[in-house]
Amino acid sequence: MSIAYKKKELKCATWVGNQCIVSFDNTKLLKELGFAVGNRKSFCQYNKSYTYDGDKSHPESHRKGEIRLDGDFYTVNNKDDYDLSNKHYTIYEAPSQELVKKWLRDKFNIEIVVSRYKCWENINEDTDKKKEVDYYVVRVDDYRNGETHEATGYFTPVHYHLDEYDTYEKAFEEGITRGLKILKDEK
């Protein structure tokens, strides 16, 4: 099954079934950094337009620059070589946020931590009515860099604190973006 998306729809994480897939921009960074685990989902960005049997509405027809999310493409068709990109299209693995978090932690020693907080927000200044609101803060810890404290012997990683977000997924996605950019800047 293939779902076509507009680029602006792919600026944030996308829910597919019960998994939150990373943004298209992050899949591009992942590919640059060598992420290739044989994921079951992938983004396909078309480099050329194609019309199937003259029918532009046919599911196989596409326009240059169009991006589609495909399911079961990698592992079914690609057991040995995960990248089937060619002059007609570019393939990007589309992993879940959790899989990327694990990859960053296990391969590069970078940890993403999302914390949930509650606060009260005024909904009517005249009556002082308030409602409880959740917000999320993300922190990226780089355990490859940091310092060991002389007195305690404890190691403190370099922390990158990011902004507040209204959903867990947005906060998580920004943490992933920051972790990937730390690695990209080192290349």
The pLDDT tens digits of the residues spanning 21-39 come to 899 999 999 999 988 887 7
Q: Would you state the structure tokens that stand for residue 110, as one six-digit string? A: 């970078």
Partners of residue 2 on adjacent β-strands: 70
Question: How do residues 133-171 score in pLDDT, each as one tens digit?
Answer: 777 888 888 888 777 777 777 777 777 777 788 888 888
Question: How do residues 62-110 score in pLDDT, each as one tens digit?
Answer: 788 888 887 755 544 454 555 666 777 888 888 999 999 999 999 998 8
The sheet carrying 110-124 orders its strands as 110-124, 129-148, 155-165
Residue spans of the domains in the chain: they are 2-95, 103-186
Identify the pLDDT of residue 16: 67
Report the 10 Å Cβ neighbour count for 166: 11
Helices (H), the chain: 24-32, 73-77, 97-108, 168-186
